Amino acid sequence: MAFNADISSGRMGAAGDMRGRLTAGRSEIFPKLIAMQKSLGARSFAIFRVVGSGLPRKRKLHCEFESWGPGAHGGQSDAFVACYGEFLLKHIDELLLPLIWNSRDEEVLCQSGEFGAFVTRLPVSSLPFAGIAFPVRLGAVGNGYVIFGFNASTDIGSSLIIDLHNRCCKLMLDLLSLAERKAAPSEALSDREIACLQLAGDGRISEEIAENLGLSVHTVNAYLGSATIKLDSVNRIQAIAKAIRLGYIN
């Protein structure tokens, strides 16, 4: 993110804007899923995260969000995991291609005629709905799938698949950020700490940060030191990396 003139003159407009863009809670993710569902013409959605990473025999898919309630595909999370869970766990380790499947007896079809070479088709199962699953790999604690189910046959265009896959990655990043912020120390970073971390993350040394923000080098180092402590990090580099994951800077 490029800092604006307010930061250069010592005011904190950009840092305040960054805070305003942080996902405030899980309630902000749900409308994004609804919008994606509508763009696909899907009847339901779900987000599954891979839990138990690092322990292959203990890994499983955990449902974070779902809309298979009345009028959709009620109670299908367990059925979906039973049908495709092992395949999805293996797939995300090897590929990031979207997966599609048809309903039982292929009564409902999910296809992508113009993008067929870049999707993986799952075998037909006993599920009463067709669907598409977008894999997202963000690291050991951020892997998972965003899934959409269909009650009517569909042929999804390539541009829509690419756009939705990007949006799915951002959704999973939001979820990871929320989880880490929940587990992080309760003391939030100040605007000055965020600004100093952002500039440090952009490759600026303390002297350059001080000149940019109109502060002394000693004050800049103090802000970076206090931010490092608040983020429970061992050094500045780790603090920058954690601030990025938590959504404070980019």
The CATH number assigned to the domain holding 18 equals 1.10.10.10
Q: Which of 160, 183, 206 is the last residue of a domain?
A: 183
- The total of structural domains in the chain comes to 2
Q: Can you say whether residue 214 is alpha, beta or left, with left for phi > 0 and alpha for psi between -120 and 50 degrees?
A: left
This prediction's pTM: 0.66
In this structure, the strands spanning 44-51 and 60-66 are: antiparallel
pLDDT digits (tens, 9 = 90+) for 17-72: 444 444 546 778 888 999 999 999 999 999 999 987 666 677 899 888 888 765 44
CATH number at residue 153: 3.30.450
Strand, coil or helix: 22: coil
Whether 173 and 193 share a structural domain:
no
Number of Cβ within 10 Å of residue 78's Cβ equals 10
| Residues contacting 20, CB < 8 A, separation 6+ | none
Classify residue 241: in a domain, yes or no.
Answer: yes
Q: Give the model confidence (pLDDT) of 79-111 as tens digits.
A: 899 999 999 999 998 999 999 999 999 999 999
Structure tokens at 36: 């994606």
Residues of the domain holding 131: 41-183
